[in-house]
Structures are given as C-alpha cells and as structure tokens.
Amino acid sequence: MIPNSFVNDLLDRVDIANLIESAVPLQRAGSEYKACCPFHDEKTPSFYVVPDKRMYHCFGCGVSGNAVGWVMAYDGLGFVDAVKLLAGRMGLEIPDDGSGFKKRRQDGPAREDLYAVHTRLTHWYRQNLLGPGGATARQYLAERGISDEIQERFQVGYAPDSFHAVVDWGRAHNYSADLMLRAGVLTSKEGSRSPYDRWRDRIMFPISDERRRVVAFSGRVLSSEAKGGKYVNSPETDIFKKGRILYGIGQARDGIRKQGCTLLCEGQLDVIACHQAGFDHAVAPQGTAFTTEQARLLGRFAPDLLLAFDSDRAGTEATVKAADSFLAASLTARVVRLGDGEDPDSLIKKDGPAALAARIQQAQDYFAFLIDYLSTQHDATHPEGKRRIAETYLNVVRQLPSEITRSEYVQLLSNRLDLATEAVRDELHQINDKQQTQAQSRTRRRLINTAPAVVPEQNRLSSEESILFDVALHHGRYAWRMVEDLESGDLPNSQAGHALRALLARSALGEWSAGVRDIAVQANELPPSLSAVIVRSQFPADCPDDVVGNAYQRCVLGLREVRLRERSATEQDPKTQLEINKKRAEIAYELKTMRRSFRGQ
C-alpha cells in the first residue's frame, strides 16, 4: 500500500499543466488552461486544467481528476503503476509504510531487466527480418499482404532457424541464462542444464502492454509443414499474464479513444490487417478466452466493444461467452457478422476495407445476436425450446445494472419468441430470486459481524448541495458561518455531504485552505458534478456579497426545512408535531420574503 502522505506530496510536486500539455496542446485562459477534450470528440474546448487546484475537468463528458488520475485515464494504468510512473519522473522513491511495499519496489530491477531483454530482443528480431537471413520471412509477409509500414509499426521480426542464436545473443549482451529463462525467451528440457531458443524459423510478433512495453512474443511458422504449433507464445512471466494483455493494445489505445469503442478480433494477423486497413482500434486476446481483466483494461479507454471473432464454431462460442467478461466490466457490445468462414483478415483481403466497414456499420446488438444463436441450439417454435432459450438469455440479461435496459431486453425476447412480456418479466424475477438465494446461502457466514454497508454515492448534486459546496469551497468566510449555522444532520448523506463535512471540520480548526486541498487531492474519486464545482464557481471572486449571502441563506433554510419535514413524518406527539409545523411555516415565510427581496433588487 502506498502511503497517502506520499501521494499528497507527489501531487504537490507535479505540475499538472506541464504533465497534460506533453500529450494535449493547452491554451491559456486566465489562470487556467483549456483544450479540446482528449477523451471525447469535440470542436469547442470544454476540457480545463486548473493548476492551483492541481486537477482537470471536462465540462463536456465530465471526466476529471488529479495528476495520478490523468496518468491512469490517458495511459490506461492502474493506481499503483500511475504513482510509480510519476514518482520516477520526479526522482522520488516510494517509501515503506510497513506493508512491505518498498520490498516489492526493491524487487523492481529484476522486472526492469525483463523489460530490457524484451525491448532489445525485439530490435534484434527486427534486424534479422530485414537482413539476408530474413528473405523467406519477408516473402511470406509480402504474400500475406502485410506492408513494410505496418511491419515497422508492430515491430514484426524473424527468429533464425537455430537452437542457439538467442543463447549467443544473450551472452553477448551479458544477460544470464537464468534471466533469459525467466523472460521466457529460452527454454530447456526437464533435467537439462542447457537452455536453447524457444522460437526457431518463425515470424516474431512482439506483444506489448498498454504502456507500449514489450512483455512477450508470439512466433508463427512460415510453412504448414513446420513442426510444432502454428503459433508458439511466451510462457507467463513476472511481466506477462496472458489473461491481462491484449495483442495490439499499445498501438490501438489512441484509436480506441478516438472511435469510442474497441474492435476485438481473434488473432494477431487479424489485428495487423485491420490496422493496415485503417481500423486502428483493433486488438485481440492472447490465445485465450476474452477475460474480465482484459475487458476492464479496455474499459479504461472506451465503454463499447465490437466483437469480430472468426465466423466458425469456435469463434461463435467465444462471442457468446464474452458476455460474462464485458458485462462484469460494465461494457456494452455489438457483434460484427463477418459471413460464413470469414475472419477480419480474410474479409479485407477478399472484398477490401469497405466490406469490413459495412459489417461494422451493420453490427448487431449482442442480445439480439444471443437470441439468434440460442435459436439455432433449441427449437424456438416449441414451448420447451422457448423455455430453454429464455432461461439462458435471461441469465445474461440479469447481469445488466440498469432496470430500464433489462426491461428493453425483456421486451426484445418477448417480441422475438412471441411470448407475453409479463411472463418473460416474471421468469427474470424468478431467476433473480434463485440467484440471490444461492448467493445469500454462500455468503451468509461472511455477513456476520461485518460493518454496515456504505450508502451508495449520488452522482448528481441537488441545488442546495451544489451551492453550499461551491460557497464553502470558494468563499472561505462562509465555511466559518456553516460551522455555526449547520448541524451535521443538516447535511445530506451523499458524497457531497461527506466532502462538505470534512471541509467544515478542517475549517473549525482554522485549516480551511488545507481542507480545500484535501478535496482536490480526491478528484479522481469524485463524481463529475462535484468536480465541476471544484473547478468553476458559479459565484466568482467579483460576485456581490449579497448575492452569495442570499444564495447561502436560502440553502441553509432549505436544508433545515428538509430535516423538519423528515421529523414531521415520524413524530407521534401532537404537541411536538405542532412545533415542527410552526417552524416549517416560519422557514417557508422567510424563504418567500428572501425571494421577493432578491427579485426586487
């Protein structure tokens, strides 16, 4: 665990404007900077960087955060890796907080050696392809229609037909055999001390992570008569977990952001063919089923998927199974129907890029595809077949978080199978009840003596929350007044309410500025509506004090009225009930008077 104090110190040191400007051209706007948002298409700048608050916010799409959040969002990194990257740039070493984090960092140089081996070996394989020994490999790539430009972009190389070429290369570069074995570029027979090259006479495809660091290789045979599998991939290592990496993610991440979706193919050559044809948002799983971790990685860059697996039985089954992963990552998906026996590579070669573009344009909603697929597995004209289709389909639909979306897909199944909508809805409820009962049975013991559940955070602010938070954050004297005017129970039990309580607690100790800074540090976790208030006040510094004061007082009275209304709903004593109603009437009169006075100014 990284100490919070270190992260806070790191954020103080990083110039967020310089950090973001290294990737996005910024234009000065007073004390702020603005640009067209890199996370969505727009022509008028709505993306603002606010150095004095050490944060950024887009008023168009709502994305916001601090320097760590920027690296996480733009580079697609997790929190720990983002902090490591920034700390490295600032020349800081992450301290040990007692959790052993520093020990893990001290293990880092071995990982860095693994990255170095892969980077230098990528260059060596590339030189082999371009040299005299790579003539046959170059001819193969030319026959497959892979251009020199795309070969360079993906750093395609060639492994010589030798058992000791990489062994000798490692010795020449002072890499130990143990390190080369750990990197997975050498292998050995059980009981033998003599390692040898893992790939021989193969086209080499470097596999990069989302930070564009080479972490593994995939070697493809040049001839169908060659021994071994068509593809031989690196084994899993300290830097390569195949269920977490997607082929082409380093090259595709900018295209994914621009397109707002990912084109998910099945193999490396599909990805390369797509990029060469202009579909630069294509990636592929690493020879495994599409995993939840891979889906979450893609979710850092865009929320939508285009599933373009091969149009054979295995590809269709992989498409069906992909739902468990993309739904767990809160992604939406459509299915690209390529045609019988086709894959993206073959379709582009046969009919050109326009054919794939047309298929993408006509991509089918995943749930519509699922009904089509299930109808080939069961008789959709028979009651039992309909029941089986509905059961499988609804077990997927139940994973959707939105009641509205679930209702739409219930209606879709009802229409397609000619079933009564209420019957389908009842079936979904029964499946939900069954799943919940099973889940409760599995977790009952874990529920004993656990802490109360956290109240879900609200993503939108009420007008009172927005104004009070705004005034307290940008006009410190009102934070002092709130300490006197409000009780803790007056504030809503929402994320804004919690943030405001924390700010008032610091203000009561005379630490208002520190409280404001604490809130800005949390920018990555705040909802867009709250971040927008932090970045820009609706009551600027030159706003007349009576305007700010009037808005403040109306909000305070409004919150008190809400609290009294809640008490009135549960109060049983008639005398107390009368007192509550009297106070509510006084507040209502005062609010009415204030509104008249304000309109008359």
Could you report the per-residue pLDDT of 155-193, keeping only the tens digit for each? 999 999 999 999 999 999 999 999 999 999 999 887 667
Residue 24 belongs to a domain with what CATH number? 3.90.580.10
Query: Would you say residue 339 lies in a domain?
Result: no
- 469 shares its domain with 585: yes
- 471 shares its domain with 581: yes
pLDDT at residue 41 greater than cutoff 80: no
CA–CA dist 266, 286 (Å, integer): 9
Query: Would you say residue 30 lies in a domain?
Result: yes
- 121 shares its domain with 229: yes
HSE (CB half, 13 Å, CA atoms) of 224? 0
Q: To the nearest whole percent, how much of the chain has pLDDT over 90?
A: 39
Mean pLDDT, residues 22-29:
83
- 468 shares its domain with 595: yes
Query: Would you say residue 309 lies in a domain?
Result: no
- 471 shares its domain with 569: yes
- 18 shares its domain with 91: yes
Tell me the C-alpha to C-alpha distance, in Å, between residue 541 and each of 245, 370, 481.
Answer: 49, 57, 18
Query: Would you say residue 312 lies in a domain?
Result: no
Q: Of 382, 405, 440, which closes a domain?
A: 440
DSSP category for residue 258: H
Q: Of 240, 256, 277, which closes a domain?
A: 240
- 535 shares its domain with 503: yes
Please choose, from the candidates 333, 334, 332, 337, the residue with its C-alpha nearest in 3D space to the C-alpha of residue 356: 337
Cα angle for residues 275, 278, 281 (degrees, 5° grid): 60
CB neighbour list of residue 460: distance below 8 Å, 6 or more residues apart: 527, 529
Tell me which residue range forms the domain holding 80. 4-106
Query: Would you say residue 249 lies in a domain?
Result: no
pLDDT at residue 478 greater than cutoff 90: no
Spatial contact of 300 and 330, defined as CB atoms under 8 Å apart: no
- 222 shares its domain with 121: yes
pLDDT at residue 453 greater than cutoff 60: no
Please choose, from the candidates 81, 52, 46, the residue with its C-alpha nearest in 3D space to the C-alpha of residue 66: 52
What's the pLDDT at 157?
96
- 505 shares its domain with 591: yes
- 472 shares its domain with 596: yes
Could you report the per-residue pLDDT of 316-354, keeping only the tens digit for each? 999 999 998 898 888 999 999 998 889 999 999 999 999
Can you list the positions of beta strands (E) in 288-337? 304-307, 332-335
Residue 376 belongs to a domain with what CATH number? 1.20.50.20
- 137 shares its domain with 231: yes
- Say what the pTM is: 0.62
Q: Of 106, 133, 163, which closes a domain?
A: 106
* 214-221/202-208 β-pairing: antiparallel
Query: Would you say residue 59 lies in a domain?
Result: yes
Residue 157 belongs to a domain with what CATH number? 3.90.980.10
Residue 474 belongs to a domain with what CATH number? 1.10.860
CA–CA dist 483, 492 (Å, integer): 15
Query: Would you say residue 194 lies in a domain?
Result: yes
Query: Would you say residue 343 lies in a domain?
Result: no
pLDDT band at 597 (very low <50, low <70, confident <90, very high): low
Could you report the per-residue pLDDT of 222-245, keeping only the tens digit for each? 887 777 788 899 999 988 988 889
- 76 shares its domain with 144: no
Could you report the per-residue pLDDT of 248-304, keeping only the tens digit for each? 999 999 999 899 999 999 989 999 999 999 999 999 997 668 988 899 889 888 889
Spatial contact of 380 and 355, defined as CB atoms under 8 Å apart: no
Task: State in Å, rounded, how far the first CA of the chain is from the last one.
Answer: 56
CA–CA dist 36, 48 (Å, integer): 9
> What domain count does the chain have?
4
